[in-house]
Amino acid sequence: MPDFTRRFERQTRFAPLGKQGQARLCDSRVLLVGCGALGGALAQSLVRSGVGELVLVDRDLVEESNLPRQVLFEERHARESTPKVQAAAETLARIGGPTALELHATHLDESNAEELSEDCDLVLDGTDNLATRYLLNDLAVQSSTPWIYGGVVGSGGLVLAVLPGKGPCLRCLFPEPAPQGSLETCETAGVLQPAVALVAALQAGLALRLLAGPPLEKTQLFELDAWEPRTRALTIERDPNCPCCSKRDFPFLNDAQPHRAVRLCGRNTVQVRGARGETDLAGLERSLAGVARSLQRNELLLRFEVDEGRITVFPDGRALVEGTEDVGRALALYDRYLGR
């Protein structure tokens, strides 16, 4: 195995980390959910810092509107609609170093969360939706795995490190997800790259601290804004009546019924999940011959066009239906062309 001592010598001169902390980093395994704006910045920071294994999970494809803020992607990735985990891996591989990458072009949900997080020392939030974050909170608390929440909208964002058994969890602050449509999103309020960088930098710093350094003394919710600019830290206490970390109720992980279709943030696209698991992409391609146009297939996806729009199908049975935000229409198109 190569000797990376010289590579990390500046980092190990930071006394709170040191050589022992660097060794712990190199032995760590981290699950990162989402490879877009936050996730891309986090992945780059962790790889450059020397994390041992990085498990990347993302369900989406690169598009042109990602490029201003999603640092791992290039124009060619957008032109080719490359799966984000594949594009991220290409860019991260050029950095070199000891980090091993494990890629999953899939949607993390209650059916695969425990398997994807197996043996991980930390979970990082690079997602763009509340449903997945509440699932991650259930997963982390149930398995006693630390996780770091991060969210960005407009010019600001929030960061919270959740240490199961030692401090509050996400549901101590927000017991239930906000009603759909009640919060601003990147689609309604936009998002600035410096805000993404600010939130991701704090998440990454906390990640290094949790993986390699002395334990955090208190749990704080950090509110950051890159436009004003301003920062605020609020000390958070554990809720003795929290349904998750106090009462050990994990509905988002154990009881939730999977949503078959969800609108994707900032896109004219609906994601549809199949009811019967894996899809034979080669067989589907054959069945669509003469029906669909511009069929493209590789080991990660099958993409085709029909009069109603473009559909991209993944091996896990998931599909992205582009050209509509109407969930019902997306489901109808999915069933029409995939028969599920």
Catalytic residue among 26, 186, 244, 245: 186
Answer whether 335's CB lies under 8 Å from 281's CB: no
Task: State mean pLDDT over 186-206.
Answer: 89
For residues 297 and 281, state if they share a domain. Answer: yes
pLDDT band at 279 (very low <50, low <70, confident <90, very high): confident
| Per-residue pLDDT reduced to its tens digit, 119-154 | 999 999 999 878 889 999 999 999 999 999 999 999
* DSSP class of 105: -
Query: What pairing do the DSSP bridges indicate for beta strands 269-272 and 261-263?
Result: antiparallel
Backbone angles phi, psi at 270, to 5 degrees: -120, 135
Q: Give 109's contacts (C-beta < 8 A, 6+ positions apart).
A: 132, 135, 258, 273
Would the pLDDT of 181 be above 60? no
C-alpha distance from residue 219 to each of 80, 160, 164, 211 (Å): 42, 8, 11, 16
Q: Which of 255, 275, 302 is the last residue of a domain?
A: 255
pLDDT, residue 183, reads 64
pLDDT band at 112 (very low <50, low <70, confident <90, very high): very high
Task: State mean pLDDT over 80-88.
Answer: 93
Residue 4 lies in a domain: no
For residues 235 and 279, state if they share a domain. Answer: no
Residue 1 lies in a domain: no
Task: State mean pLDDT over 252-268.
Answer: 76
Residue 8 lies in a domain: no
For residues 240 and 267, state if they share a domain. Answer: no
Answer whether 339's CB lies under 8 Å from 295's CB: no
Residue 70 lies in a domain: yes
Mean pLDDT, rounded, of the chain: 90
Would the pLDDT of 335 be above 90? no
Residue 7 lies in a domain: no
**CA 325 distance to own-chain centroid:** 22
Total count of domains within the chain: 2
Residue 244 is among the residues annotated as catalytic for this protein? no
Answer whether 317's CB lies under 8 Å from 340's CB: yes
Name the residue among 216, 85, 228 with its Cα closest to residue 157. 228
pLDDT band at 106 (very low <50, low <70, confident <90, very high): confident
Domain range enclosing 308 = 261-338
Percent residues over pLDDT 70 in the chain: 94
Name the residue among 90, 86, 85 with its Cα closest to residue 57. 85
Q: Which two tokens stand for residue 238?
A: 């554990």
Would the pLDDT of 182 be above 70? no
For residues 307 and 181, state if they share a domain. Answer: no
Measured from the Cβ of residue 44, the count of other Cβ atoms closer than 10 Å reads 18
Most confident range, picked from 91-100, 209-218, 247-256: 91-100
Q: Which of 199, 224, 255 is the last residue of a domain?
A: 255
For residues 238 and 320, state if they share a domain. Answer: no
Give the 3-state secondary structure of residue 61: strand
pLDDT, residue 180, reads 47
Residue 326 lies in a domain: yes
Residue 5 lies in a domain: no
Name the residue among 137, 83, 84, 135 with its Cα closest to residue 108. 135
| Per-residue pLDDT reduced to its tens digit, 301-327 | 999 998 888 999 998 888 999 998 887
For residues 116 and 40, state if they share a domain. Answer: yes
For residues 300 and 235, state if they share a domain. Answer: no
For residues 234 and 277, state if they share a domain. Answer: no
How far apart are the C-alpha atoms of 218 and 204, rounded to whole Å?
17
Look up the CATH number of the domain holding residue 292. 3.30.310
For residues 90 and 148, state if they share a domain. Answer: yes
Residue 34 lies in a domain: yes
**CA 88 distance to own-chain centroid:** 12
| Per-residue pLDDT reduced to its tens digit, 154-174 | 999 999 999 999 999 999 999
**Ramachandran bin of 12, using left for φ above 0, alpha for ψ from -120 to 50, beta for the remaining angles:** alpha
Name the residue among 108, 248, 268 with its Cα closest to residue 171. 248
pLDDT, residue 194, reads 95
For residues 45 and 120, state if they share a domain. Answer: yes
Would the pLDDT of 274 be above 90? no
For residues 159 and 276, state if they share a domain. Answer: no
pLDDT, residue 199, reads 97
In terms of pLDDT, which residue wins out, 247 or 289? Answer: 247
Comparing 28-37, 130-139, 248-257, 309-318, the range with the smallest average pLDDT is 248-257
In terms of pLDDT, which residue wins out, 197 or 274? Answer: 197
Percent residues over pLDDT 90 in the chain: 66
In terms of pLDDT, which residue wins out, 335 or 250? Answer: 250
DSSP 214-266: PPPSS-EEEEEETTTTEEEEEE----TT-TTTTT---IIIIIPPPPSEEEPTT
Task: State mean pLDDT over 4-26.
Answer: 95
Would the pLDDT of 276 be above 60? no
pLDDT band at 60 (very low <50, low <70, confident <90, very high): confident
For residues 85 and 228, state if they share a domain. Answer: yes
Comparing 29-33, 48-52, 248-252, 265-269, the range with the smallest average pLDDT is 265-269
Would the pLDDT of 41 be above 70? yes
Q: Which of 228, 255, 282 is the last residue of a domain?
A: 255
Query: What pairing do the DSSP bridges indicate for beta strands 156-162 and 147-153?
Result: antiparallel
Name the residue among 76, 66, 38 with its Cα closest to residue 152. 38
